[in-house]
C-alpha cells in the first residue's frame, strides 16, 4: 500500500505545487515592479522641477540696452562698463571696483589717488592683487545689476508639456510684461558657475569640487585602513575574546546613525585636531578662508570613519570567500603566509573588496547630516583650493536650496540633484569598469 | 644550523614516530609509527574517516593550518624532527610537497602556475633558466605535449586530469624530496586516473611518494608499500598493518586487513 497519491490525485498534487510556486513568483514580480515604480517616481519628481516654462520679468529690457543694433552680450567691455555706470549708484560701483578692477590702468568709479592709497594701506582691497574683470564678467554684472531678470513664476515640466496653452494664457494674463520661455535649469553654466544668492545665476561649481575633494580624501583615508584591518582580522587575528569583541563592535558601528559620526568628527577633527585639519600645524593654512578646523580634510576624515566599518566588513567577506584550496596550494609550495595573502588571497578578493568600496563611496557622496555638524559652509563662492579650504558639497547645497522660500530655488535644487546623480553614476561606472578590467585579467 | 639541508638521510626518507593528532579534544590519530623508504611509493588506505589524510598532512605540517590541531610524537626528516621549535614549516613544505584531492591550479597562466613556486622560493636563474624549469617540470608531469602551445592560457582552462598534472608539475618545480598526494585521482575519470598512476610510477625514480587512496586496486597496482588504517571504537584512526604491497594484499596478517581488501567492509 503506497503512501503516495496516484493518477488524478498525483496530477492535482503536482498542479497544486506549481500553483504555489506561481503565487510566489507573482509576489516577487510585484516587489520588483514596486521598486521600479518608486525609482521612476523619484526621477519624474526631479526632472519635473528641473525643466519647464518660466516667466521672467526684466527690470530693464536687454533689447533697449543694445548699442547700434549690437545685442548686449556682444558689446565690448568699454560699452558694457558705460551701461553699468549709467545704471548703478557710484557707491555700488566703488564696491564692485574694490572687489576687482574694470580696467588695468584706470579706475571708473574710484578716485585713482585714493585707490592707490588704499592699496598701500595695511588691508588693501582684493582688487589690488587681481587682474581686471573680463568682458564676460562685466556682462554678468550688467545682467545682475541692470537687467535684473526676475523669475516671477515657473511651471513644472508636466504642466509645460501637457497644458502648454493653458499655462501660456495664464501667464499672458498675470504677467503681461514677462517673457515666457522654456527653460532648463540644468545648463552648462549651472555646472561651471559658483553659488549666488540669485537663483537664476547660481551654480554648483563649488559644490561639485567640494564633493570631489571630500570623496577623494574619504577614500584615501578609509580604503587602505579598512582593507588592512580586514586582512588582519581575517588572516592573522586569533579567534579569542578580544578579537571577537572587536569584530562585534565593527559590525555594530556599520549601523550607527551618520549624525553620530558628525558629532565625533566635530569633536575630534574640528576641535581637538584643529591645528592639523586647518593646516596651521603644517604651515598650509588657507588665509583667505579662515576655516578653522571646518575644512575639506575634516569632512573627508569624518566620512572616512563613517564608511570604514562598511569597507572592513565587505573586505572581510571577500577575503573569506577566497577558497581554502588556493591557500593550501600556495602554502604547500613553501610560500609564507604573507606571500600567500599578497599573491593569491588579495588578488582573488579584490573584486569583492572593490565592490564594497564602491558601495560605501556612493553612501559617502550622498551624506548630508554629518557634514552639517562638521560645519560645511552654507554659502561659498570660492573654489576649494585644497584639503584645508572651507567647503560645501552637493547634498548640502541641495538641502540648503530646498529650504529657501523662493520657488526658483527648488528648480535649481532639482537640477543639482540631477548633477549629483550623474556624478554618482560616473564615479560608480568608473569604479565598476576598473574592477571588471582587473578581475578579467586575473582569471 | 640548517639541519634539514645538511643532514644525510638515514635508512628512511621520512618517518613518523608515535604520532597522536588531536583536533581540540578529539583524537584523530592514535599512536601511529610509519617509516617510508626513499624513492618508493607508499599507499595509505582505509575506510572513510579513519584519519589517513590527517596522517598524511602531518608529514609536511599542513595540519598547522587548522588552529585547533595539535600533534604529539615526532616526524623525522633527515634526522631532524620537523616539529621542533627551530624548524620553519615554510622550509618543511618547500622540501615536502603536496598534491591535493581536488585539482587546485592558481587562477594564473599555465606557465605562471609552474613558475610561481620557484619565484617565491628565490629561484636564482634568468628567464631562460625559468623557461627550462617550466618545460622540465611539465615534461616530468607528462603534460608538456598538451600545453606547450598554450602556456599563456589560464590553468583553469584545462580539463580536470590536466589540471591535476599541472598541480604535480607545480609541486615538482620547487624540487622537493618527498611528494604527498591526498587522493590525487579521486575527482578524475578512469582514463585520467590511469594517466596519473602512470605518472606516479615515473616520478618514483626521483621522489619518495606517499599517496592516500580509497581505491584499493590503485593501491595494489601503483604502490610498493601499503599502510592500512582503521578507525577504533573511540573514532581515532590507528595503523592496522604496514608492509610491502604484494604481501599485504596476498597474505594479510590481520583479519581486519583481509576483510577490508576483500571488500567486506569500508
Q: Residues B233-262: pLDDT tens digits?
A: 888 899 999 999 999 999 999 889 988 888
pLDDT the model gives residue A289: 52
pTM: 0.81
Counting DSSP H helices and E strands in chain A, the numbers are 20, 3
A233 pLDDT higher than 60: yes
Residues with Cβ < 8 Å from A223, sequence gap 6 or more? A311, A357
Rounded to an integer, what distance in angstroms lies between the CA atom of residue A62 and that of residue A70? 11
Judge: B93–A331 Cβ closer than 8 Å, yes or no. yes
| Surface of B (154-193) touching A: CB under 8 A | 154, 156, 167, 170-171, 174
CA distance B117 to chain A (A): 6
pLDDT digits (tens, 9 = 90+) for B114-129: 999 999 999 988 999 9
Rounded to an integer, what distance in angstroms lies between the CA atom of residue B154 and that of residue B151? 8
Closest CA to B161 of B176, B181, B141: B141
B7 pLDDT higher than 60: no
Rounded to an integer, what distance in angstroms lies between the CA atom of residue A382 and that of residue A287? 13
Rounded to an integer, what distance in angstroms lies between the CA atom of residue A178 and that of residue A198? 18
| Helix H or strand E encompassing A53 | strand A51-57
Rounded to an integer, what distance in angstroms lies between the CA atom of residue A110 and that of residue A98? 8
Provide the 3-class DSSP secondary structure of residue A76: coil
The separation between CA A126 and the C-alpha centre of its own chain, rounded to angstroms, equals 29
Torsions phi, psi of B12, nearest 5?
-110, 150
pLDDT digits (tens, 9 = 90+) for B76-134: 998 889 999 999 999 999 999 999 999 999 999 999 999 999 999 999 889 999 999 99
Query: In a mutagenesis test of the A interface, which of B60, B114, B117, B120 is the best target, namely the one with the most A β-carbons within 10 Å?
Result: B120
Rounded to an integer, what distance in angstroms lies between the CA atom of residue B17 and that of residue B31? 8
pLDDT the model gives residue A44: 93
Task: Provide the pairing of β-strand B178-182 with B96-99.
Answer: parallel
- What number of other Cβ atoms are within 10 A of residue A215's Cβ? 23
Question: Which of A328, A335, A336 is the closest to B62 by Cβ?
Answer: A328
Q: What is the average pLDDT score of chain A? A: 87
Judge: B120–A328 Cβ closer than 8 Å, yes or no. no
A440 pLDDT higher than 80: no
A91-100, A192-201, B22-31: which has the highest mean pLDDT?
B22-31
| Surface of B (78-107) touching A: CB under 8 A | 90-91, 93-95, 97-98, 100, 102, 104-107
Rounded to an integer, what distance in angstroms lies between the CA atom of residue A196 and that of residue A148? 14
Tell me if A147 sits within 8 A of A380, measured CB to CB: no
Tell me if A303 sits within 8 A of A345, measured CB to CB: no
What grid cell was written down for A203? 551654480
For range B194-208, the mean pLDDT: 91
Residues with Cβ < 8 Å from A331, sequence gap 6 or more? A337, A340, B62, B65, B93
Question: Which of B93, B97, B107 is the closest to A443 by Cβ?
Answer: B107
Instruction: State the count of interchain CB pairs (< 8 A) between A and B.
Output: 65
Residues with Cβ < 8 Å from A229, sequence gap 6 or more? A250, A308, A312
ipTM reported for the complex, 2 dp: 0.90
Rounded to an integer, what distance in angstroms lies between the CA atom of residue A357 and that of residue A431? 9
pLDDT the model gives residue B85: 92
Rounded to an integer, what distance in angstroms lies between the CA atom of residue A339 and that of residue B94? 13
Rounded to an integer, what distance in angstroms lies between the CA atom of residue A358 and that of residue A433? 11
Rounded to an integer, what distance in angstroms lies between the CA atom of residue B185 and that of residue B81? 30
Judge: A332–B100 Cβ closer than 8 Å, yes or no. yes
Partners of A443 on chain B (C-beta within 8 Å) are: 107, 154, 156
Tell me if A100 sits within 8 A of A381, measured CB to CB: no
For residue A179, the cross-strand partners are A56
Tell me if B220 sits within 8 A of B213, measured CB to CB: no
| Surface of B (15-74) touching A: CB under 8 A | 60, 62, 65, 67
CA distance A333 to chain B (A): 6
pLDDT the model gives residue B240: 92
pLDDT the model gives residue B135: 95
Q: Chain B residue with minimal CA distance to A240? A: B67
Q: Chain A residue with minimal CA distance to B164? A: A329
Partners of A344 on chain B (C-beta within 8 Å) are: 106
What grid cell was written down for A141? 554684472
pLDDT band at B1, cuts 50/70/90?
A: very low
Q: How many residues does chain B have?
A: 266
Per-residue buried b or exposed e for B202-233, using 16+ beta carbons within 10 Å of the residue's own CB: ebbeebbbbbbbbbbebbbebbbbbbbbbbee
Our CA angle for A423, A44, A204, nearest 5°, is 35
Rounded to an integer, what distance in angstroms lies between the CA atom of residue A97 and that of residue A126? 9
B96 DSSP 8-state letter: E
Amino acid at each position: 500500500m503506497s503512501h503516495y497519491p496516484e493518477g488524478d490525485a498525483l496530477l492535482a498534487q503536482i498542479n497544486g505545487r506549481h500553483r504555489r510556486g506561481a503565487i510566489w513568483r507573482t509576489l516577487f514580480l510585484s516587489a520588483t515592479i514596486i521598486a521600479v515604480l518608486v525609482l521612476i517616481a523619484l526621477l519624474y519628481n526631479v526632472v519635473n522641477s528641473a525643466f519647464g516654462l518660466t516667466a521672467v520679468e526684466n527690470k530693464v529690457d536687454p533689447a533697449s540696452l543694445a548699442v547700434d543694433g549690437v545685442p548686449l552680450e556682444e558689446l565690448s567691455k568699454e560699452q558694457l562698463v558705460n551701461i553699468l555706470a549709467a545704471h548703478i549708484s557710484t557707491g555700488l560701483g566703488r564696491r564692485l571696483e574694490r572687489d576687482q578692477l574694470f580696467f588695468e590702468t584706470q579706475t571708473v568709479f574710484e578716485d585713482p589717488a585714493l585707490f592707490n592709497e588704499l592699496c598701500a594701506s595695511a588691508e588693501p582691497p582684493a582688487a589690488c592683487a587681481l587682474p581686471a574683470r573680463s568682458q564676460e564678467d562685466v556682462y554678468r554684472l550688467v545682467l545682475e545689476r541692470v537687467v535684473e531678470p526676475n523669475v516671477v513664476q515657473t511651471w513644472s515640466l508636466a504642466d509645460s508639456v501637457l497644458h502648454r496653452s493653458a499655462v501660456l494664457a495664464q501667464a499672458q494674463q498675470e504677467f503681461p510684461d514677462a517673457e515666457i520661455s522654456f527653460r532648463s535649469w540644468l545648463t552648462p553654466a549651472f555646472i561651471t558657475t559658483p553659488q549666488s544668492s540669485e537663483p537664476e545665476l547660481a551654480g554648483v561649481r563649488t559644490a561639485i569640487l567640494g564633493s570631489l575633494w571630500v570623496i577623494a580624501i574619504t577614500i584615501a583615508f578609509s580604503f587602505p585602513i579598512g582593507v588592512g584591518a580586514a586582512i588582519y582580522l581575517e588572516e592573522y587575528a586569533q579567534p579569542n575574546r578580544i578579537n571577537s569583541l572587536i569584530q562585534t563592535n565593527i559590525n555594530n558601528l556599520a549601523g550607527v546613525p551618520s549624525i553620530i559620526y558628525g558629532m565625533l568628527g566635530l569633536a575630534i577633527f574640528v576641535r581637538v585636531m584643529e591645528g592639523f585639519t586647518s593646516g596651521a600645524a603644517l604651515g598650509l593654512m588657507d588665509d583667505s578662508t579662515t576655516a578653522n578646523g571646518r575644512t575639506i580634510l575634516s569632512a573627508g576624515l569624518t566620512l572616512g570613519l563613517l564608511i570604514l566599518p562598511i569597507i572592513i566588513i565587505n573586505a572581510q567577506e571577500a577575503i573569506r570567500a577566497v577558497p581554502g584550496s588556493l591557500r593550501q596550494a600556495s602554502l604547500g609550495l613553501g610560500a609564507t603566509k604573507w606571500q600567500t595573502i599578497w599573491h593569491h588571497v588579495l588578488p582573488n578578493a579584490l573584486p569583492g573588496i572593490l565592490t564594497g568600496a564602491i558601495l560605501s563611496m556612493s553612501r559617502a557622496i550622498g551624506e548630508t547630516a554629518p557634514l552639517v555638524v562638521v560645519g560645511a559652509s552654507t554659502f561659498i563662492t570660492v573654489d576649494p583650493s585644497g584639503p584645508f579650504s572651507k567647503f560645501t558639497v552637493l547634498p548640502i547645497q541641495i538641502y540648503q536650496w530646498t529650504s529657501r522660500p523662493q520657488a526658483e530655488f527648488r528648480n535649481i535644487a532639482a537640477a543639482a540633484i540631477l548633477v549629483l546623480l550623474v556624478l554618482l553614476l560616473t564615479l560608480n561606472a568608473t569604479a565598476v569598469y576598473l574592477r571588471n578590467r582587473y578581475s578579467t585579467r586575473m582569471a | 644550523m640548517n639541519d634539514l639541508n645538511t643532514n644525510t638521510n638515514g635508512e628512511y626518507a621520512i618517518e613518523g614516530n608515535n604520532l597522536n593528532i588531536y583536533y581540540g579534544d578529539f583524537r584523530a590519530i592514535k599512536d601511529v609509527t610509519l617509516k617510508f623508504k626513499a624513492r618508493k611509493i607508499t599507499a595509505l588506505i582505509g575506510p572513510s574517516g579513519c584519519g589517513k589524510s590527517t596522517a598524511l598532512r602531518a608529514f609536511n605540517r599542513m595540519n598547522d593550518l587548522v588552529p585547533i590541531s595539535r600533534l604529539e610524537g615526532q616526524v623525522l626528516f633527515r634526522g631532524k624532527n620537523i616539529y621542533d621549535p627551530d624548524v620553519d614549516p615554510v622550509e618543511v613544505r618547500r622540501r615536502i610537497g603536496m598534491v591535493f584531492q581536488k585539482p587546485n591550479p592558481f587562477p594564473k597562466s599555465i606557465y605562471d602556475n609552474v613558475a610561481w613556486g620557484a619565484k617565491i622560493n628565490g629561484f636564482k636563474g634568468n628567464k631562460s633558466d625559468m623557461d627550462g624549469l617550466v618545460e622540465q617540470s611539465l615534461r616530468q608531469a607528462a603534460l608538456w605535449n598538451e600545453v606547450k602551445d598554450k602556456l599563456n592560457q589560464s590553468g583553469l582552462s584545462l580539463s580536470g586530469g590536466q589540471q591535476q598534472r599541472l598541480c604535480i608539475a607545480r609541486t615538482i618545480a620547487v624540487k622537493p624530496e618527498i611528494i604527498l598526494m591526498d587522493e590525487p585521482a579521486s575527482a578524475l575519470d578512469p582514463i585520467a586516473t590511469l594517466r596519473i598512476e602512470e605518472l606516479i610510477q615515473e616520478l618514483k625514480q626521483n621522489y619518495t611518494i606517499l599517496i592516500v587512496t580509497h581505491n584499493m586496486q590503485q593501491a595494489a597496482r601503483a604502490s610498493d608499500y601499503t599502510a592500512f588504517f582503521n578507525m577504533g571504537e573511540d573514532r581515532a584512526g590507528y595503523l592496522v598493518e604496514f608492509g610491502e604491497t604484494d604481501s599485504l594484499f596476498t597474505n594479510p596478517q590481520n583479519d581486519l586487513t583481509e576483510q577490508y581488501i576483500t571488500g567486506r567492509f569500508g
